[in-house]
Amino acid sequence: MTFKEKGLLIVLSGPSGVGKGTVCKALRQSGTNLQYSISVTTRAPREGEIDGIHYYFKSRDEFQHMIREKKLLEWAEYVGNYYGTPIDYVRQTLDEGKDVILEIEVQGFFQVKERFPEGIFIFLAPPSLQELKKRITGRGTETAELIQNRLTVAKSEIDLMKHYDYVVENDEVHAACERIESIVTAEHCKRERIIEKYKKLSEVDK
């Protein structure tokens, strides 16, 4: 009998335009061990797109059936088409001991959090937030209105990020990737995970 440590589900989200796709692509190219889930969609394949590689292409009926059967970790409708994450692929990959990274829009957060509370939720923050300090405490040449607008944006982003486990500032893609990889490594070192592993090992010969 052997004991296999389960993989972690890493959920990367953040405001539209923050660079989630770019960061995910860079992570994929950096040779990290993270697995990417393949989305299901009802939109037509574009030239060169292959079913089961770029997307799982389904009819609207098939997609709605997946929704009803709770076969999707999250799903949304954009411009008349459905997009979603098949839960079976995720569970199977985690059971194989591999970590899975999932890139979602902020709207999908609560769906995934509800169905997979043990996921690691990372909020990718725009570099403007990082520069907030410089801007606010800058040379005092900004108008009060401009400063107020920036604070309002910052506060609405704090409201979004407060549900997440980690916040990674996307000041530079390479730096953001390194932080995400560090989070994955650190999560694997968490005491409760390691103890769980040892406890299971110690029970092997009972």
Q: Does 185 bind its own copies (CB under 8 A)?
A: yes
Amino acid letter at 124?
Answer: L
| Closer of 82 and 123 to its own copies (Cβ) | 123
Closest CA to 28 of 92, 99, 94, 95: 99
Q: Is 202 annotated for ligand binding?
A: no
Q: Which stretch binds its own copies (CB under 8 A): 10-18, 72-80, 100-108, 178-186?
A: 178-186
H/E stretch holding 194: helix 191-202
Which two three-digit tokens encode residue 137? 């405490």
Q: Which residues contact 8 (CB under 8 A, 6 or more apart)?
A: 94, 99, 100, 119, 120, 184, 187, 188
Q: Which stretch binds its own copies (CB under 8 A): 15-23, 65-73, 97-105, 181-189?
A: 181-189
Q: Does 145 bind its own copies (CB under 8 A)?
A: no
Going through 87-164 in order, the beta strands assigned E by DSSP cover 100-103, 120-125
How far is residue 3's CA from residue 97's CA, in Å, rounded to a whole number? 10
Q: Does 73 bind its own copies (CB under 8 A)?
A: no
Q: Does 87 bind its own copies (CB under 8 A)?
A: no
Strands 81-86 and 72-78: antiparallel
When binding is defined by CB under 8 A, the residue of 57, 132, 171, 173 that contacts its own copies is 132
H/E stretch holding 21: helix 20-29
Q: Is 15 annotated for ligand binding?
A: yes
Question: Residues in contact with its own copies, total (CB under 8 A)?
Answer: 44
Binding residue numbers: 14-21
Pick out the residues of the known binding site for ATP: 14-21
Instruction: Give contact residues for its own copies (rule: CB under 8 A).
Output: 1-3, 122-123, 125, 129, 132-133, 136-137, 147, 151, 154-155, 157-158, 161-162, 164-169, 178-179, 181-183, 185-187, 189-191, 194-195, 198-199, 201-202, 204-205
